[in-house]
Amino acid sequence: MPDTAAIAEPIIRISGLTTRFGPQVIHQDLDLDIARGEVMGIVGGSGSGKSVLMRAVIGLIRPASGRIEVLGHDTAHLSDAERQALRAHWGVLFQDGALFSSLTVAQNIAVPLREHSTLPRSVIADLVAMKIAMAGLPADAASKFPAELSGGMRKRAGLARALALDPEILFLDEPTAGLDPIGAARFDELIGDLKRTLGLTVVMVTHDLDSLYAICDRISVLIDKRVKVGTIAELMREPDTWIQEYFRGPRGRVAEQAATRRGQPQGERPENERNGGGDSRSDGDSR
């Protein structure tokens, strides 16, 4: 198993995390480090607690025990002001965008800007227009309401809102679920591009094997209330039957072949990527 302790300066460090709902234990003594600048995929069977893990990190669920450090701050022991300040350092894209249905796309994206800055309206409007363009939405989407958008566009709008404050960490909950394969591939590309240009650290819960191959540097597999972490190549060497079935099952093989055809030799994924860090920008064109 790859040694996660090797990461020098993790942007997120989870140690000894236990979460439970009533008597049901979701995570037990879970340790996970996420390096600055990497794309970390979180996978696992249904009900294995992928989303719960993400929610625990962003503070929507209080863990039963354990320590979660984000950007060096222990999230359990923060004053309200500190927690508020820390929240501006991450953006979250929920499954169906979670846009406020009574606001237009532009107003949705302006919400965090209004809340956390003192910029005048016209500047905010321009920044919103830029974020909309960055998320790959047409300019006329700005004045539409979430109900008028397709699923893919809602996700892009949600992404634009998550990026509104230029977060360092981006959390994505099943970003490609419910998208057609073309839309999903475009979304993967978008995440990859944004990560490189903005130097983001991305944590994504996903079921999409193609996304894993396309953009994830490392993957955490939730098994038996803990995680096994590594690159796809490393994980493939794990004896665990779930992992074997996941990556070597019919769908896993197809995704691998597709990735290989795109000229992405998964087997020898560069080792330096494991350490994440600033290098991730430079290998952008290897995809």
Partner 1 sequence: MSKTVDAPQVAAVRDGDSLTISLVGAWTTQRMGPAQAKLVDMATVGARRARIDLGGLAALDTAGAWLLHQTLQRFREAGLEVAVDGADAAAVSLIETAGKYDTPHPPPPRRENPLAAVLLRLGRSTIEIGREARNLLNFLGLTVIVLLGSALRPGRIRGTALISQMEQTGLNALPIVGLISFLIGVVLAYQGADQLARFGAQIFTVNLVGVGVLREMAILLTAIIVAGRSGSAFTAQIGTMKVNEEIDAMRTIGLDPMEVLVMPRVIGLMLVMPLLTFYADIMGLLGGAVMATVTLDISFVRFARQLSEAVTLWSFWIGIIKAPIFAFIISLVGCYEGLMVTRSAESVGRQTTRAVVEAVFLVIVLDAMFSILFSVLGI
Residues that bind partner 1 (CB under 8 A): 71, 73, 85-86, 88-89, 101, 106, 113, 116-120, 122-123, 125-134, 139-140, 142-143, 147, 164-166, 197-199
Q: Residue 119 CB, nearest distance to partner 1 (Å)? A: 5
Q: How far is the CB of 212 from partner 1 (least distance, A)?
A: 26
Q: HEC states along the chain?
A: CCCHHHCCCEEEEEEEEEEEECCEEEEEEEEEEEECCCEEEEEECCCCCHHHHHHHHCCCCCCCEEEEEECCEECCCCCHHHHHHHHCCEEEECCCCCCCCCCCHHHHHHHHHHHHCCCCHHHHHHHHHHHHHHCCCCHHHHHCCHHHCCHHHHHHHHHHHHCCCCCCEEEEECCCCCCCHHHHHHHHHHHHHHHHHHCCEEEEECCCHHHHHHHCCEEEEEECCEEEEECHHHHHCCCCHHHHHHHHCHHHHHHHHHHHHCCCCHHHCCHHHHHCHHHHHHHHHHC
Task: Tell me the CB-side half-sphere exposure of residue 92, using CA atoms within 13 A.
Answer: 16
Query: For helices 151-162 and 181-198, what crossing angle results, to 10°?
Result: 10
Shortest Å distance, C-beta 166 to partner 1 = 4
Please, which residue, 61 or 88, has the CB nearer to partner 1? 88
Shortest Å distance, C-beta 274 to partner 1: 23
- Of 122 and 286, the one with the shorter C-beta distance to partner 1 is 122
Nearest approach in angstroms of CB 65 to partner 1 is 26
Which CB, 29 or 166, lies closer to partner 1?
166
**Shortest distance in whole angstroms from residue 97 CB to partner 1:** 13
Rg (CA), the chain: 19
CA dihedral 168, 144, 178, 132 (to 10 degrees): -30
CB nearer to partner 1: give 231 or 280: 280
Other beta carbons less than 10 A from residue 242's beta carbon:
17
Q: Which is nearer to partner 1, 86 or 258 (CB)?
A: 86
Task: Considering the complex, state which of residue 140 and residue 285 has its C-beta at the smaller distance from partner 1.
Answer: 140
Shortest Å, Cβ 165 to partner 1: 5
Nearer to partner 1 among residue 106 and residue 232 (C-beta): 106
Closest distance of CB 101 from partner 1, Å: 6
Token pair listed for 66: 């354990």
Nearer to partner 1, 10 or 44 (CB): 10
